[in-house]
Structure formats: structure tokens, C-alpha cells
């Protein structure tokens, strides 16, 4: 069963483009977290506490900001625009355990992941997520 078998996105690409980039980041956060968790479950025999500790290495703001920095030059102009829009969206949430700059770039990374997921760009999403795993 694929995630697409469970999740049914009915909004048009036009509707998705009209959403706040923070909505893309909200979805991207969940998609990315699920990807990392299932990857760790699939490739390790760790107990839940260790899975959580290991997943933090991928999902903390600094790690996501670093990933975005690594892939940025390989993004399309449209993807760079998505990143820019998400990074520049005013967010009143201040990070507790991260530098503001890392938090902004992590949100931009999540925005890109969410946008690709919502617009059903599965192959591009897979390619970007594959880079995340290869990097660790």
C-alpha cells in the first residue's frame, strides 16, 4: 500500500498555489517525518526510543537547513521560488532549540516537500528524499 492509497488530495494545483506557504510546510513536516520514521524502521532494528533519537538527526532544523543548502543548486526555478516564498512567509512561532536562520530554512525545506506532495510530483519528491538518506 502506498501513501497515495490512503491520502486523497482533491485540490487543484491552482488552489495549492493559492495556499499559504506555511500550509505547505505543515504538510511537508508530516510527510518528511513519516518518510524518516519509515526509513529507519525499514533499515534498522532499533527500539522506539533509539528510533526517536536517530530520527532527530534528520528532522531537527539545522539538519533540514543543511539539506536544503545541499540541494538548492539542483532545484528548478519553480522549486527555488517555493523555497523563497516559504522562507519569507512571516511566522510568529519562534524556535526553542534552533537558530532563527536554520528554522527559516528548515521551514522552507518542509514547504518544498509539502508542495511537491500536494501537487503529486511523486518522482521529484522521491529524488529529493533519496538525497536526504544518502547524505547521512
In 3D, which of 61, 69, 107 has the Cα closest to residue 87?
A: 107
The whole-angstrom separation of Cα 102 and Cα 98 is 7
Give the closest residue to 65 by CA, choosing from 126, 22, 112: 112
Which of these is catalytic: 5, 15, 29, 102? 29
DSSP result, 12-74 = -HHHHHHS-HHHHHHHHHHHHHHHHHHHHHHH----HHHHHHHHHHHHSHHHHHHHHHHHGGG
Among this protein's residues, is 81 annotated catalytic?
no
Radius of gyration of the chain (CA): 15
Residues annotated catalytic, as ranges: 29
Amino acid at each position: 500500500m502506498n501513501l497515495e492509497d490512503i491520502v486523497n488530495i482533491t485540490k487543484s494545483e491552482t488552489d495549492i498555489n493559492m495556499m499559504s506557504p506555511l500550509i505547505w510546510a505543515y504538510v511537508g513536516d508530516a510527510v518528511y517525518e513519516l518518510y524518516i520514521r519509515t526509513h529507519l524502521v525499514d533499515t534498522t532494528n532499533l527500539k522506539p526510543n533509539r528510533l526517536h533519537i536517530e530520527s532527530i538527526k534528520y528532522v531537527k532544523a539545522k539538519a533540514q537547513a543543511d539539506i536544503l543548502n545541499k540541494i538548492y543548486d539542483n532545484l528548478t526555478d519553480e522549486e527555488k521560488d517555493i523555497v523563497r516564498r516559504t522562507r519569507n512567509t512571516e511566522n510568529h512561532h519562534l524556535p526553542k532549540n534552533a537558530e532563527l536562520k536554520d528554522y527559516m530554512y528548515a521551514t522552507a525545506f518542509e514547504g518544498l516537500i509539502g508542495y511537491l506532495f500536494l501537487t503529486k510530483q511523486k518522482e521529484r519528491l522521491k529524488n529529493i528524499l533519496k538525497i536526504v538518506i544518502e547524505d547521512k
